[in-house]
Structure 1
Amino acid sequence: MTRLALHSRLIPGTEEAYEIEHARVWPELIAVMRAAGIRDWSIWRSGRDLFHLVECDDFEAAVAQLRDEPVDQRWQQHMSRFVEGFAQNPDGLAGQSLRHVWTMSEQD
């Protein structure tokens, strides 16, 4: 299993609307995410910055599979009115994951 962090940023003034949209994410989206191997996805917000923690089997494979899913395409289009985009990291998984620095449970 892979656990990784992502960073995205909201368009100014959309913070509250973004949270409302995530109060109940479409069940059909969750189903295709699980089918793609995503086990869990959490989002934290600080101002306009969003920090995502994703647990999945293979993030790059999941992203590739979701690209062809009509429900994910509709969700991405729907959410594009709130999100400026994801921070890019050429060294990260799928070009997006943040660099992992430390995990307490992994330290002896």
Structure 2
Amino acid sequence: DKYYIQRWKPKDRKYVRDKQFNVPMELTEASRHLRYSQLSTILNEMASDGARTNQKYLYVVNESERIFAGLDEMTKADELRELQARGVVVEKEPPIQMQVPHPDGYDNL
């Protein structure tokens, strides 16, 4: 016991883990690379399953457009918050209208 330096001894740590991926939450909060890796795995599985039938494909494409629109809104909100923190006055722009997809789903090919 005298041989071991204190830093070599295992530390008692309790990690709060993500239930689905069993990864400590503090790693995903701070590591952009780990978040990217997990998203890549999830989206790869989704693409694999979504490509099986045309119905699944169209569903995944439509939902991905909705997700992209939500991500764009979050990005704009983050940029606005950043500008406001710097004290820059920003005029609000009218919301961008999304093109409604054709009911048959052929306009997204």
**Structure with greater strand percent:** 1
If asked which structure has higher relative contact order (CA below 8 Å, sep 6+), I would say: 1
Q: Which range, TM-score by smaller chain?
A: under 0.3
Max Rg structure: 2
What is the TM-score with the length of structure 1 in the denominator?
A: 0.20
> Which one has a larger percent helix, Structure 1 or Structure 2?
2
